[in-house]
A and B are shown apart, each in its own frame.
Chain A
């Protein structure tokens, strides 16, 4: 019973709410000697593993720490350039910490607005007339359930593939939205949801599901 995250997309396709509920944190630390036995790729704002997967450090993971010092983009927190540190034999052995990249808010907004046309295309591609858009999207590691209200707001939940009853959860989230967001006089429609009561109640709902299962709500 794992629910990873909840998203709400407004009528016009903008992400107005997202909540990461249960995202497993994957971090691996290892001591390296010179030269490094993995290939690193220096991108615009991060350093990621491009080849040489081993011991939990996978391709795509990003460098987050060197000897316990945090990495900020391409520089260390103490101002040194990471590339220079890693290429200098005198600095070794080095303890490097890698982690799975986290999605930034911007990336989330970007992805949410990508889903919007996909949803619309799905309903147009349909061989049958009067088809809905995407309701369930399944991959080998997660399942995304989407519920669109009559007014056009989309509620999305990303969960484990084995999780059932997500449609009930989506209806419940809709009720919470109707209660704690729309009845909040200081919330303006179509704007990002920053309502603490909504957060609290959503959190409580998700925790209850974890404890007792979806059928009991």
Chain B
């Protein structure tokens, strides 16, 4: 019922998001001066978003709990398609199966962005890493995620690495452990 009244996700112009995000990052650069602080804040912002966004994802997809990192990777891929309308490729699995990469050919967040040379330390999209971490933490998976390659820094594609740390056993809700 709520779906009929709200904006259809496909009808939202991605440029609005791109520009708003750009405004946020430039404002933060102005407020903090230190690029490392901006990276940290963006990550935290994403973390807080992820903690809330996961409920929306679960409510819409009815996904069961993941018991394997490969399932998790598929879910993350699905989430990117739902929320950003991009489909990252999953690759570079670690031999132990607990670490993989998400490779983006294009990323709507950086559509109009050229990174100035003095900001080479800025991880412009670190909000995405935070988002992945926050969302997975709510389903009792502790992960690390970071950028390996970034198109903004001259790499051919953008690559985010996700590494499984541990399952948060104490936090697993009763009736599921």
Contacts and interface: CB of A to CB of B under 8 A. Distances in A.
Contacts of A201: 1-2
Contacts of B60: 175, 178
Interface of B: 1-3, 6, 51-56, 58-60, 62-65, 138-139, 171, 173-176
Given A151-B138, A151-B139, A183 B174 contact: no
B175 A120 contact: yes
Contacts of A204: 1
B171 to A, nearest CB: 7
Interface string A176-193: 111110110000010000
Contacts of B56: 178-179, 182-183
B74 to A, nearest CB: 15
A16 B102 CA distance: 37
B1 A208 contact: yes
Contacts of B138: 151
Contacts of B171: 11, 152
Contacts, number: 73
29 contacts: A120-B174, A123-B175, A123-B176, A132-B176, A148-B175, A149-B59, A150-B63, A150-B64, A150-B176, A151-B58, A151-B139, A152-B171, A171-B59, A174-B59, A175-B2, A175-B59, A175-B60, A178-B55, A178-B56, A179-B2, A179-B6, A180-B2, A182-B53, A182-B55, A183-B52, A183-B56, A189-B51, A189-B52, A201-B2
Interface in A164-214: 171-172, 174-180, 182-183, 189, 201, 204-205, 208
B175 A177 contact: no
Contact of B52 (A122, A149, A182): A182
Given A120-B174, A148-B175, A176 B2 contact: yes
Contacts of A123: 174-176
A133 interface: yes
A205 B1 contact: yes
Interface in A137-152: 148-152
Contacts of B59: 149, 171, 174-175, 177-178
B175 A151 contact: no
A132 B54 contact: no
Nearest to B173: A152
A171 B174 contact: no
Contacts of B173: 11, 148, 150-152
Given A174-B58, A205-B1, 4 more contacts: A148-B176, A152-B171, A175-B3, A182-B56
A151 B173 CA distance: 7
Contacts of A17: none
Contact of B175 (A119, A175, A205, A217): A119
Given A171-B59, A177-B59, A133 B65 contact: no
A180 B52 CA distance: 11
A107 B138 CA distance: 29
A131 interface: yes
Contact of B58 (A120, A149, A179, A189): A149
Nearest to B174: A120
Nearest to B66: A150
Contacts of B54: 151
A173 B3 CA distance: 12
B140 to A, nearest CB: 8
Nearest to B138: A151
A181 to B, nearest CB: 9
Nearest to A208: B1
Contacts of A133: 174-175
B54 to A, nearest CB: 7
Contacts of A177: 55, 59
